[in-house]
Chain A
Amino acid sequence: DAKTTQPTSMDCAEGRAANLPCNHSTISGNEYVYWYRQIHSQGPQYIIHGLKNNETNEMASLIITEDRKSSTLILPHATLRDTAVYYCIVRVARETSGSRLTFGEGTQLTVNP
């Protein structure tokens, strides 16, 4: 699985958009970009994933650059409950890849009132 680089921490004002970047310059063509988040001492929560097109769901939007070397997770209207560690993970979706998710350090997002 490709390595990812994320900022250690970010701050965001409540009600504003939170834009979390992720660099994955060694991504290969069949690797997906996944985002999870973990609120303190809880299990990680799946947010969104994508291959090359931008994706949106009820939680967030995922913008992947055309060369796929980086992506941005956007929380359109951040709330205090969005304070968490956000993990960007890149992996291939095939039967032989197994379920192992490699979590890096992630980005600690703090939403301030």
Chain B
Amino acid sequence: KAGVTQTPRYLIKTRGQQVTLSCSPISGHRSVSWYQQTPGQGLQFLFEYFSETQRNKGNFPGRFSGRQFSNSRSEMNVSTLELGDSALYLCASRLTLVTDTQYFGPGTRLTVL
């Protein structure tokens, strides 16, 4: 079974721009979560989507948003990029809301110049 895939793997943007990242979960998995990883803050939870609905949200500004499609694929959008948004963005999927084991994708490395 294929793992979690994320596209693109690398991205360079400039301040003020916006970016959209994509995540395809493991086949059959209905929950998709997003995390941000930076050297200073470590891994931080952004939000989780299940059945096209945001179920949980971390402590990030409204510039960070996401959505999930009927096929469980998810996108994450960051508007008005800041230098501090440079990070590894990770997507994780799990089978259901009760299943706790999450499987992570390889991540998208975003650099904001």
Interface residues of A (CB under 8 A from B): 32, 34, 41-46, 49, 91, 93-95, 97-105
B85 shortest CB reach to chain A, Å: 17
Interface residues of B (CB under 8 A from A): 4, 31, 33, 35, 42-43, 45, 48, 55-56, 58, 88, 90, 92, 94, 97-107, 109
Question: For the complex, would chain A's binding face be called helix, strand, loop or mixed by DSSP majority?
Answer: loop
A101 and B102: CB pair below 8 A?
yes
Pair count A-B, CB < 8 A: 62
Can you report 11 residue pairs joining A to B where beta carbons are below 8 Å apart? A41-B88, A41-B107, A41-B109, A42-B107, A43-B4, A43-B90, A46-B102, A93-B100, A99-B33, A99-B94, A101-B102
Known A43-B107, A99-B45, A101-B45; further 17 A-B contacts with Cβ < 8 A: A32-B100, A34-B100, A34-B101, A42-B107, A44-B104, A45-B104, A46-B101, A46-B102, A46-B104, A91-B100, A95-B97, A98-B55, A98-B56, A100-B56, A101-B102, A102-B45, A103-B42
Known: A99-B56, A103-B42. A43 touches B100 (CB 8 A): no
CB closest residue in chain B, given A102: B45
B107 and A95: CB pair below 8 A?
no
Bound state CA distance, A98 and B50, in angstroms? 10
B102 and A105: CB pair below 8 A?
no
Bound state CA distance, A101 and B100, in angstroms? 9
Known: A99-B33, A99-B92. A42 touches B58 (CB 8 A): no
B56 and A46: CB pair below 8 A?
no
Bound state CA distance, A91 and B4, in angstroms? 22
Bound state CA distance, A102 and B35, in angstroms? 10
Known: A41-B88, A42-B107, A105-B42. A99 touches B102 (CB 8 A): yes
A49 and B90: CB pair below 8 A?
no
Residues from chain B with a CB closer than 8 A to the CB of A101 are 35, 43, 45, 92, 102
Bound state CA distance, A97 and B42, in angstroms? 21
B101 shortest CB reach to chain A, Å: 6
Known: A42-B107, A43-B105. A103 touches B43 (CB 8 A): yes
